[in-house]
A and B are shown apart, each in its own frame.
Chain A
Amino acid sequence: MITLGFACLILAFALAIFAAIAALIGTRGDRRFVDSSRRAVYAFAALLTICVIVIEAAFARTDLSLQVVADHSSTTTPAFYRFTAMWSSQEGSLLLWAWVLSLTSSAVLFATRNKHRELAPWATAVLMGLGAFFTGLMLFDANPFARLSPVPPEGVGLEPLLRHPAMAIHPPMLYTGYVFFAIPFAFAIAALITRRLDASWIRSTRRFALIAWLCLGVGILLGARWSYSELGWGGYWGWDPVENASLMPWLVGTAFLHSIMVQERRGMLRVWNVTLVCATFSLALLGTFLVRSGILQSIHAFGESTVGGPLLALIGLVVIGSTLLIVSRLPDLKSEKRIESLVSREAIFLVNNLLLVGLAAVIFWGTFFPLISELFTGNKASLAAPWFDRYTTPLAILLVLFTGIGPLFAWRRVSLGAARRLLAWPALAAVVVTALLILLTDADTHPLALVMFALASFALAALVQEFAKGASAYRSLKGGSYPRALAGLFARNRRRYGGYVVHAGIAILLIAVAASSSFQTSRDLRLSPGQSATVDHYRIKYVKPTAEISAPEQRLTFGAVLKVSKDGGPYATLYPSRNYYSGVGGGTPVTGGPGGGPIRSFFEGEATSEVGRKTTVSGDVWTSMIPDLGPLNPLINKSDRKLEKIGRGVSAKNVQAQQALGALQGLAVRNIERQYLRNPPPATFRVNVNPLVTWIWVGGAIAVIGGLVAIWPAPEARRRRVSDVYAARLARELGRA
């Protein structure tokens, strides 16, 4: 089936080129070429689907004749992770990018098949230009169907850090987010070329932009969750370049989603909107580039890359091309109207937009500072988390304030009296919350966190007021109970009220971020079994060591049982552990890897942490451990010497002898495990008390639900009914006009 897959990839590349050319011919008005190019896009999607199926089937049966499988999986990789191993490779992730692009392009072209006579062909050409780029990249630089000869007896296996359920969904979500932004970008370019710069391109692509934003947001959350539970450093966000690369398009995309509302309603911010969508897509490409190029040091840089250069060229083309296009269309992009008052929703949206873009700019500078400093000084100096915190925290605080004010104001203008009335209750709620926090907690020791709590309370109170006023108004018109009125509100305007739910989720998330980062207690403890120490209000006792061998995963785990007590009473039992994998990094289980002999290779390669965590609504007690392997070194060295001596006399072709060697290695590992349990060495435990951290995930989940509500289309019948009501009223006036 590999030949078939490769043939489909070649055909997909040819089709993408054909679709782009046919679409360009179709821009002259020949519908035959437009329709043919659209069909070519559908076929492109079908062919890439076959490619994905062929690659996944190869991973499922561990076909080691395929290089991508041999490099990223093995016969011992668990079945679930074999399925997800595709996108841990460069070739597989490029295939995923192209595949998602083909599906989304097909969806948008199907949805607009009888619309946008002028825009659709140009948009198709842009989308298939991207399709040709990514399939071409696979064909000429990173072929997922490349074969290996001779076929190795065993694969390298999946990177241990990626063996986490969140990692199964995190990369596809991020890529889906990145790729979906290609749709509004392509239609924006089409609108610029054809000078059709009204809001109709926004209307057709808004839902795609929302899906992109949502998927990217879910991807970022899953990444944070993975970092928190797998990386063992104790945090969920480390301002790592690849994390930043996903946050930047999300921030600019958020600005875009808000500012298109202003264009749709008021015909303003046209230059700003096309600039934002081009910037968002450029940043999405930059995110792919940062993951794949390895240009910046990152915990996410898995493996060498050869596609950095072409990706950088594409980013350059997108940035320069779209900038020139926007500049050449400035007269056509002139707004129809001006902002009438600073006390209006559009004015607040504009301020929020500037803050979001400002945040993205700060993160961009911090992320690329190592390259900038290298350019000017020759030294690659990195900016650490405190630098990012110093500049992003004030911007985030202001963002929360304006997120609270925005929904309160009407479009066009609000009288100052009405503004005072609308702001009074949320402001009072913020004052009360601040006073209570100062009186009852030590929140005033961290002024910036206190301001964040106050303003997030203001934003939440404003949203509660919005829902209450909306439900009251609905009841006064239609009667019924409050819950029914609330449901009616959502049904009447999903975008608005779904958006408010997103705001509520983000406000909760930011409260949790402020609390868990400002009031975290963190200590590193070196304990032997039986010893204990106190962290915050918790007494931590190292009760006993644990050890486990997983033969299928070639994994040795050293762990600990920790008893946690609070105020003298039992609170929790935690089981942090450290996983070590055999032969990771290019070696085999028997001969070991570059890091050392067959047993040493377990401890010299990549190790992962399983954290021990007690989660409650008020926060987490979080622990990770690193055992001191020093006392085990003599036994490890002795075992390696013996195994290597025996291994030297055994031919690699002698399967039986190799199996016997493998069994001997298993016995040696079992011996190390017993030694660890018999004479447990001390271990270093990181113990973090993270207040309110659970609310990060709760806030994130609420925001996702709100996003889904906003995306979900209103039934056609309801939309028609609403339109018909206004049409009927206006028709009567039209009769009088």
Chain B
Amino acid sequence: MEIILALLIVAAVVWFVSVPLRRTKEEEDAATRKVEDPRVARLEAAKEAKYREIRDAELDREQGKLSQADWSRQDAELRRDAIQILKELDEARADAESRAAPHG
């Protein structure tokens, strides 16, 4: 009985693990499209980090840790960086979409 159960588990595992290996070309393309483009992912992370920096700077100003002058300088710099990241992100997304679009 235990041997039969073990064989059934082996069969189930082999079937489950091999599903992606048995994908058709279309299924494979669809699966690949789902995965985030590395450049987009990197820029998304940078964008979130930059937003957090902007938010932290605001919080620090509200709590008197940063003078108005220091905050203005930092905030302008952070926003400049953020805008640069957003521009790059738009480009990266456009590139990723054009690469992922079905050809032909």
Contact = CB atoms under 8 A, between A and B. Distances in A.
Interface of A: 1, 3-4, 7-8, 11, 15, 18, 31-36, 39-40, 42-43, 47, 50, 114-118, 196, 198-200, 203, 264-265, 408-415, 418, 421-422, 466, 469-470, 473, 476-477, 493, 722-723, 726-727, 730-731, 733-734, 737
Q: Which 4 A-B pairs have the closest CB atoms?
A: A473-B62, A35-B20, A7-B6, A410-B60
9 contacts: A31-B28, A42-B16, A414-B66, A415-B67, A469-B64, A723-B51, A727-B51, A730-B83, A731-B86
A410 B42 contact: no
Q: Is the interface of A mostly helix, strand, loop or mixed?
A: helix
Contacts of B82: 726, 730
A727 B44 CA distance: 12
B101 interface: no
Interface string B55-71: 11101101111110010
A476 B6 contact: no
Contacts of A4: 2, 5-6, 9
Nearest to B13: A43
Given A32-B20, A32-B21, A35-B31, 5 more contacts: A18-B17, A410-B56, A418-B66, A726-B54, A737-B83
A413 B70 contact: yes
B39 to A, nearest CB: 10
B42 A36 contact: no
A18 B41 CA distance: 28
Contact of A3 (B3, B10, B59, B74): B3
B21 A36 contact: yes
A116 B86 CA distance: 20
A105 B86 CA distance: 32
A118 B38 contact: yes
B77 to A, nearest CB: 9
B17 A33 contact: no
Contacts of B18: 36
B45 A36 contact: no
Nearest to A36: B20
A390 to B, nearest CB: 37
B64 A422 contact: yes
A418 B56 contact: no
Contacts of B79: 730, 733
Contact of B35 (A31, A32, A469): A31
Given A31-B31, A200-B45, A410 B66 contact: yes
A198 B39 CA distance: 11
A129 to B, nearest CB: 18
Residue in B34, B41, B57, B67 whose Cβ sees the most chain A Cβ within 10 Å: B41
B32 interface: yes
A730 B55 CA distance: 13
A59 to B, nearest CB: 19
B64 A466 contact: no
Residue in A114, A196, A409 whose Cβ sees the most chain B Cβ within 10 Å: A114
A36 B19 CA distance: 7
Given A8-B9, A31-B28, A198-B42, A115 B53 contact: no
B16 A39 contact: yes
Interface in B50-104: 51-57, 59-60, 62-67, 70, 74, 79, 82-83, 86-87
Nearest to B53: A265
A3 B4 CA distance: 11
Contacts of B64: 418, 421-422, 469
Contact of B59 (A31, A35, A117, A470): A470
Contacts of B65: 408-410, 414, 418, 422
A286 to B, nearest CB: 32
Contacts of B87: 734
A680 to B, nearest CB: 56
A392 to B, nearest CB: 32
A115 B42 CA distance: 10
A446 to B, nearest CB: 35
B55 A722 contact: yes
Nearest to B4: A4
Nearest to B54: A726
Contacts of A722: 51, 55
